[in-house]
Amino acid sequence: MSQGLSDITERAAELRRDFDRNFALPPPEGLTSQQNLLALRINGQPFAIRLSEIATLMAGKKIVRVPGSNAALLGIVGSRGTIVPVYDLQSLIGHGSCTAPRWLAITAAAQIGLAFDAFEGQLRAGPEEIVPQQARSGLSAFTREILQTEDVARPIFHLPSILETIKV
């Protein structure tokens, strides 16, 4: 019986060493260059936001209206014990206003809510799929790169420039 117990103890020690060694090794090649993005639509057009720039994604959250001088300010929501101002992303980028945004992304940098109408899912992209955006009028102030997939080109929002329009 002691031989069986000794074998189990040795096997457990071996598994612990393997487990610890795996955390000491660098991640496999290719995974570090991948970027996670959220795919969304604004006014029917495809866009993306880097997942690393988002703290929370919510659906169907009730927005409480508040008076304000910024036309894009929709109101406030409660999130994780704090009050977060919510802005209409469609209005901030100059595409009119969204009548009933269903989705809300709270930015990691400033705890600002950006409301939009359609969330399509999460994407993982390699560096070869993200290309600098050619200078165009309109969105170029808010997007600097494009995620080019087989079926669609998605401008990637540059959240610092969007937050700058709010003067955060």
Q: Summarize the confidence of residues 77-103 as an average pLDDT.
A: 89
Query: In this predicted model, what pLDDT tens digit does every residue of 31-76 receive, in sequence order?
Result: 557 899 999 999 889 999 999 999 999 998 999 999 877 888 999 9
Q: Summarize the confidence of residues 70-89 as an average pLDDT.
A: 91
- Confidence grade of residue 137 (pLDDT, cut at 50, 70, 90): very low
The whole-model pTM stands at 0.75
pLDDT value at position 80?
A: 85
The residue ranges of DSSP E strands in the chain, in sequence order, are 35-42, 45-50, 54-59, 73-79, 82-88, 103-107, 113-116, 118-125, 130-132, 143-148, 153-157
Q: Which two tokens stand for residue 10?
A: 């040795």
Phi, psi angle pair for 50, to nearest 5°: -65, 130
Domain 35-166 architecture: Beta Barrel (2.40)
